[in-house]
Structure 1
Amino acid sequence: MGVFLELGAEANKRFENEYVELLNYFKEYDPLYLCSFCAYYFTSSEEGIDEEAIKGYLEFPQFYVEILQAFSLMAERTISAKPLHEKVEDFKSLVQNLNQNQSIGYYKLIKNIEQNENGLNEFILRADMMLHTLAVRNWAYVGQMKTINQELAFLISEDFKRVIGFNSSDFIEVFSGLVNLIENKFNAHRNNTRLFIQQKNYNDVFNTYEKSFDSVEKQGEKQREQFREKIVKNLKALKVFLLEHSDLFLSDIFTLNIEEIFNHFEGKYNKVDIEYMLENLSLSFGELSEINKDFVFLDNPIHSKPFIKTEDGYFSSIPHMFDHLGVSLLESLIWTDVKLKNIYLEKKGKYLEEKVELLFKSSFPNARVLSGSKWYCPMDKKDYENDLIVLIEEFAIIVECKSGAISSSAKRGAPDRLFRTMKDLVISPSEQAIRFQNFLKNNPKEHLFTTKSSEVKNKVDSSKIKYFVPLGVTLSHLGNIGCNLKKLIKANVVSNKLEELAPSISYTDLEVIFEILSSQSEKIHYLSRRREFEAHVEFNGDEIDLFAFYLDNGFNIGEVEYNDTTHFDFTLKSKELDPYMIGKHRGVEVKKPILKKTKYWQDLLDKIELRTKNWLINSFILLNLPEQDQKEYERNLKILKKRILDGKVEKKYNYMLMKVGVERRRYTLAGFPYKDIDKVTRNNLINDIIAEGLEDENSRGVLVIGYDLNYNHYPYSVIAGSYESNLFDDLS
């Protein structure tokens, strides 16, 4: 512990010195120039290039610019045309070191924790939340964020306009649309600089520069010659000089005025409303002079007011945040009126429940999806209401939703507030799902649950449910914490055992998962195996990182799953899904990621889901084979088929048994090629094969796939399995 405290103390000293040095830069240079320069040169990249995916890290994360913009507001603006020139790298390194030392400085919190394992786990949990707050942007893909922003705004549009004075949907559309306006100006500036740099002679460079930047004073032939003799000696030097001069116009990219916004939207929104919106989202220079600089990193005031009001308009160097901030900005305006807030919170809760219900209905077309089941718990003598139960064959997915948000103090890692937030958003719906699951398990009969509608009653026969999949769904994104319940248990946030809790997944993450997984069986397999995997494996990463790993192997990793000395770091694994999800939003065709399997296995699963009784159990067993085992099965089956057709087998009837998985999750898969036998004989032989498979007491299920070689059916002729299957592993 002492080593970490020393590291934190040293980092804090460096941070304090670097902070003073940064403020000196703001005194010497125009802060708008500094923020714009960093946003333009250090955080932008060509389309299709993802530095973080390539390097594993960002050299200059976008949140550094957010910190800069906040610090620039701690004093009055310095009006200066001085460029960074030879100090570019010094300034860049200063900003990088300041942010890195500030993060390392969190080790100082160790001195306040209990000197035991529980205290350390509490610190890790707090650190996870603080780092998530500090560095994670866009808690969903941009297309998802835009949809949620617009839909939440629409919920409250009439009441919002009555209280605030303008339409909430207009507010979101304007705010989101400003991203395109800034992008257009950004690209125009970049194109203008490329044009003059591409020229081949002195005068063409000058002419192109003056034409591209029309605010530049035009230089005559004599002035140009004097300039050439005294300042720049060659063409390359001229281009470098003009490029540096063009940097003085970078702040124009990020500065918007009412007229250009009005024109950008082609007069759709009136100027008075546009100005009122921006006034409510703006800070002025010097306005943050009294703020605690440490709070800027975990509760940055520019996240609630992302613009700086200037004489020329409204400046913001963080358009990358606009869609991410949409909901929180909308809610900050709603919170100004108590009645409006209450109306909104009620509608927001219903919104999440309805979105989740629609998602499950579209993702599980073969299922019965029932919402709002009211039930009485005899254990604690209370009435409850289940948000959603999805019934499909012998499986039941029990879903509970929570639409609350993460408070500022929780984002800063304040222990009491963070723990209450985790209990409210993760533990509460988790416990509700498990409670309803236990009720149905303990009362295996046909139930008729009332709902809010007097005309609708939900019929659930729990005696037919063998496999329960509990799930909590949030609207907020909780990063690494939300998808790893063991962290909450180790930090003593809850006293529950893991088996008493259900996984928690944000709605947007669940939407991505269901979008990519092609079949109902894969979705069930992920949700059930994900709970087991979380219980057995130590890992770091968020839900989509974990899901990307699932696509590699279906969580079929052998004995490593039960090796408590192995730790997986899945951080940034989700980057593998970005091209498809981002391309889909932009209308660009990109190959969809899939769960790795052979073509034959895909065809097998497709046919089973379409035509087979007990298809879900059969598919579940097949999904427990990683791709290499699928290939081994196909190779051995091909050999056996050929031997039977060539008459090179000793026995009259032949089949192959394949033990699948590790000992505690073992399944038996049989391939049974046959010819010239009647249906009764075939069925008797299949029963014998199943009986042989069941002789292995560790086998959780037996599946027989038959191939009639007289007809060469594809991908199989008949499929059968054991009704004694026990598909789910325990969580210990």
Structure 2
Amino acid sequence: MKRKLKSKRRKDKHIKNPKNLGFTAFEHPFNKIDKDVLKKAFLSTGQESSKKFPAILQSLLGHFRTWYPPFIISTIATYGLQVGVGDEGVSSQGFIENMQQHHVEMLQALALTLPHAEWGSEPAPPKVIQQVIDQAGELAEAFMYRRFVAMDEERDEQQRVVLALQERLRAHTQMVRNWGYFSAVVRISKEMYGALDQDLSSHFGFSATDMIEVSKALLTSFERRANQRWTVLRDIFRASTTEQLVRDFYAKYPDVEGDPSEFLAGIPKDVTTQMVKYRLLAHADIALVKLGIADADELAELTGRTSEVVGQILGKLSLRPGDLCAEQIDSFFLANPIWISPGMKIAGEFFFPTPQIIFSHIHPIMNALAEAAGVKTKLERRRATFLEAKVKEVVERALPGISLTTNAKWEVDGKIFETDLLGQIDRVAFIVEAKSAALTPQGLRGAPDRVKRHVRDLVVSPAQQSFRLEQIILQAKAGDPSSFGIVSSLGLVLGDIDIVIRVSVTLDDFSTICSAENELKAAGWVPQDLRLAPTLGLADFEVVADILDEPAYFLHYLAERERVQKSIDIFGDELDYLGFYLQTGFNIFSLEEAGVALAITEMSQAIDHYYCSIDAGVEVRKPSPKIHSQLARIIQEIRRRNARSWTSMSLDMLSMGSAEEQDLLFSELEILRENVRKNYIDPKHLCSLVVSPPAHRAACVIFYVYPEVLSNQRQDIVSQLAGDAFAEQNRTRCIIVGRKIEEWHRPYQFIGIAMPQKASP
């Protein structure tokens, strides 16, 4: 829209926020189904699942009684959980579609309910393996769907919400395994639990570091053997003729006995070379169990530990067949004993078909060891001190130059409060609460009282603490003398604070339920007037800081992360939020306005690919925010110059709109530049673009384009542009970016903030 200015007679254009958000959103097909019909269908599915569950379970146990369970588990783990690694990085999918770690954990637990004498002894044929794969998926789905019956039976609306929250946590517990990427998990575990080395060594004969190093070597050895197997098979299967294929297999594949000529003579004439490959692969799979057999001597050599120490560690991490015979199988879905003891001791050998389980569940494993050694209290103290120190390290690395205070104490009405981490960088006050309490088995199972306690301890209490301090800062800015005294005592420069960013960091992954702010308030677990801070696990907090390695992006993410979880219902974990931010910058006003609910559970794929590839030794490009290159240059230059109020200006500019609107903006600027070049002598020439973000944004942004000959007049022109913007829009500030047409290669010629003039008394 064009309009005339009141005195200088120049014109500007207004750019409103876009509808295109830079990612693909589609309507869930269930939205088109009548709710009563949908509810009836889910209830029917739940009732049917309750009937099917016992039959599926007995069928699986029947397979284990007929065939050798370790072979079944090894085969499914090998083809379902191992992924390929190439020049492009790590693949996101195993050879068996939709086979996840929790399925294999369940199969292993089921096998351990049977004594060794009841196990079958022969390798299962491919047909049976496929049946087990199908039934493992059906069993997990049946467990999930049959809980719809319990939700339907509950008539109290608030209790329904409570049940829905429990389902969020249960689904996360049942399906999600990794609280961090492998290298980060190992590093964090060694740094944190190394403090217990002497205590555990005195009690068990091995230290926490011993256990972590042996477990890492166990996984490394497993992967090396698996890779060697695939390398040999690929070489063998390059054969172009059946005869060469068979002879290479007998010559090159380990432990193959027999006469290849005899095998060749028995092949029917109508059998193709490809069919023979499948048969030889099935034969090779018989040796898969050996991949999971731990070699104590090898592990001792790899880790520099004694074979005795290695044996003690493997024994502590293992269960024997029949050890779970008295357990309730329903509990395996949400508190599987395999999480604490991921190995199996079979006839004197230790079998670890999925050694990565150790690191997926290192926290409960270490908690169990500490409790057995009588040092649980020491572990709790260590978790707290470690978390606070680590969070400080991450913040200082993400925000160079920030002034930080740890354990900042302040007093209100005679009561002492303490903020774990308090800092200020430019015009941003940064408040962090670090909570190290661990999720309990009862909480993981979704026990209402325990889940509520976790929400209170890990979400509500730290949010109340940071919210309380934020309010004091705002009251001090409004002129309250007592609040001003508190803020001054904390070393904050009140006049330099425009924005307060709050965040809570935990050790355990609680992200799925933490972000469900509307549901938590509907359940009565969170006060209605409390603004929850975003709650991130430590490993995810590190990832956010690493991916958003430009300080402005890091600050913008956390500032907008709090707002987004209030304005729209989103289901996803923290790295899904991060992936969502990379695509949208959280500039999703059209979705917020529509009041939709979003499932963003696949949006972390690029981030997963990056870190998993690094762990596999393949370097790929780091994901980055989808931001126009010219805007990125402006943001970088503002910070490089350490311009006053660079944080406020950067965050406001990052909130202008989606990547698509940024493209439009800078395309319009190119047109405007040419227009100014041709028409600047005309006092009515078009000279500016005004970006008007949604009303909830604090600032508008004006791009002013001028030639060198008008440089002396720019201050007057800019003042009028800002004045007109404030007259038309209810904004608390206006960012003004000046660009000279003769020096267009520069990100900007000048940049600043204008504030509305206060009315005279």
TM-score (norm 1): 0.90
Aligned AA (1:192): V
- Distance in 1 (CA, whole Å) between partners of 2:655 and 2:497 is 21
SS in 1 for 2:361: helix
Q: Percent identity?
A: 24
The amino acid across from 1:73 in the alignment is: L
| Equivalent in the alignment of 2:8 | none
Distance 2:660 2:245 in 1: 60
Counterparts of residues 560-599 of structure 1 (less than 5 Å): 560-564=591-595, 566-599=596-629
Give the Å deviation of 1:643: 2.9
Match of 1:453 in 2: none
> Are 1:28 and 2:66 an aligned pair?
yes
Flag the 1:167–1:671 CA change in 2: closer, same or farther, 3 A.
Answer: same
Asked whether the 8 Å contact 1:132–1:479 carries over to 2, the reply is no
Indicate the larger mover: 184-193 or 349-358: 184-193
Q: Distance in 1 between matches of 2:98 and 2:741?
A: 60
Moved over 6 A (4+): 49-52
Q: Are 2:43 and 1:43 aligned?
A: no
Q: Is the 8 A contact 1:398 1:470 kept in 2?
A: yes
Deviation, structure 1 residue 183: 0.8
Q: Distance in 1 between matches of 2:301 and 2:246?
A: 31
Distance 1:155 1:96 in 2: 40
CA contact (8 A) 2:410 2:490 kept: no
- 1:72 pairs with 2:111: yes
Structure 1 match to 2:634: 604
What is the match of residue 28 of structure 2?
Answer: none
CA–CA distance in structure 2, aligned partners of residues 278 and 427 of structure 1:
40
1:196–1:648 distance in 2 versus 1, CA, 3 Å: closer
Cα deviation code 1:14-58 (max 9, x no counterpart)? 110111111111111011111111112233332269999679x95
Question: What letter corresponds to residue 336 of structure 1 in structure 2?
Answer: A
Partner secondary structure for residue 372 of structure 2: coil
Contact 1:702-1:725 at 8 Å conserved across structures: no
Partner of 1:730: none
Residue matched to 2:655:
624
Deviations 1:297-342 (A, max 9, x none): 111111101111012511122223232122322221111133x211
Question: Aligned partners of 1:369, 1:28: CA distance in 2, in Å?
Answer: 63
Q: Conserved in 2, the CA contact under 8 Å of 1:703 and 1:720?
A: yes
Q: Aligned pair 1:251/2:281, yes or no?
A: no
Q: Secondary structure at the match of 2:395?
A: helix
Distance 1:135-1:52 versus aligned 2 partners, 3 A rule:
farther
Summarize the alignment of residues 291-310 of structure 1 with structure 2, pairs less than 5 Å apart. Answer: 291-310=327-346
Q: What is residue 559 of structure 2 aligned with on the other side?
A: 528
Question: How many residues are treated as equivalent by the alignment?
Answer: 707
Give the match for residue 540 of structure 1: 571
How big is the shift at 1:198?
3.6
Do structure 1's residue 280 and structure 2's residue 316 form an aligned pair? yes
Q: Which residue in the other structure is 2:470 paired with?
A: 437
Q: For the structure 1 residues 724 and 247, does the alpha-carbon distance in structure 2 shift closer, same or farther, using more than 3 Å as the test?
A: same
- Which residue does the alignment assign to 1:413? 446
Deviations 1:559-617 (A, max 9, x none): 432332x1211111111222222233344322222222222111111111122222122
Superposed CA offset, 1:111-142 (max 9, x none): 563x1432221111111111111110111112
Equivalent position amino acid for 1:29 in 2: W
TM-aligned CA deviation for residue 290 of structure 1: 0.9
Match of 2:216 among 160, 167, 176: 176
Distance 1:242 1:677, change over 3 A: closer
**What code does the residue aligned with 2:544 have?**
I
Whole-angstrom distance in 2 between the partners of 1:7 and 1:235? 44
Alignment counterpart, residue 509 of structure 1, candidates 540, 545, 562 = 540
Separation in 1 of the partners of 2:339 and 2:49?
Answer: 26
2:46 matched to 1:13? no
Partners of 1:471 and 1:604 lie apart in 2 by 27
Counterpart secondary structure, 1:705: strand
Write the deviation string for residues 212-236 of structure 1: whole angstroms up to 9, x where unpaired.
Answer: 45544343x8xx43x5555766674
SS in 1 for 2:612: helix
Q: Is the 8 A contact 1:449 1:459 kept in 2?
A: yes
Mapped partners of 2:445, 2:666: distance in 1: 54
**Matching residue's letter, 1:431:** Q
Whether the 8 Å contact between 1:157 and 1:169 is mirrored in structure 2 is yes
Post-superposition shift, 1:374? 1.2
SS at match of 1:288: coil
Matches within 5 A, 1:323-722: 323-338=359-374, 340-378=375-413, 381-443=414-476, 459-499=491-531, 501-564=532-595, 566-611=596-641, 612-625=643-656, 626-647=658-679, 650-651=682-683, 655-665=687-697, 667-676=699-708, 681-709=713-741, 712=744, 714-722=746-754
User: Which deviates more, 319-328 or 364-373?
Assistant: 319-328
2:437–2:507: 8 Å Cα contact kept in structure 1?
Answer: yes
Question: Secondary structure at the residue paired with 2:85?
Answer: coil
Measure, in 2, the Cα distance between the counterparts of 1:241 and 1:295. 39
How do 1:190-269 residues align onto structure 2 when only pairs under 5 Å count? 190-199=230-239, 204-219=244-259, 224-225=261-262, 227-229=263-265, 236=273, 238-265=276-303, 268-269=304-305
Given the superposition, is the C-alpha separation of residues 574 and 129 from structure 1 closer, same or farther in structure 2, using an over 3 Å criterion? same
Q: TM-score, normalised by structure 2?
A: 0.87
Cα offset, 1:446, TM superposition: 6.1
Deviates more, 1:616-625 or 1:155-164: 155-164
SS in 2 for 1:459: coil
CA distances 1:508-552 after superposition (whole Å, capped 9, x unpaired):
222111111232222221111111111111221112111211112
609 and 25 in structure 1: CA distance in 2 versus 1, 3 angstrom threshold: same
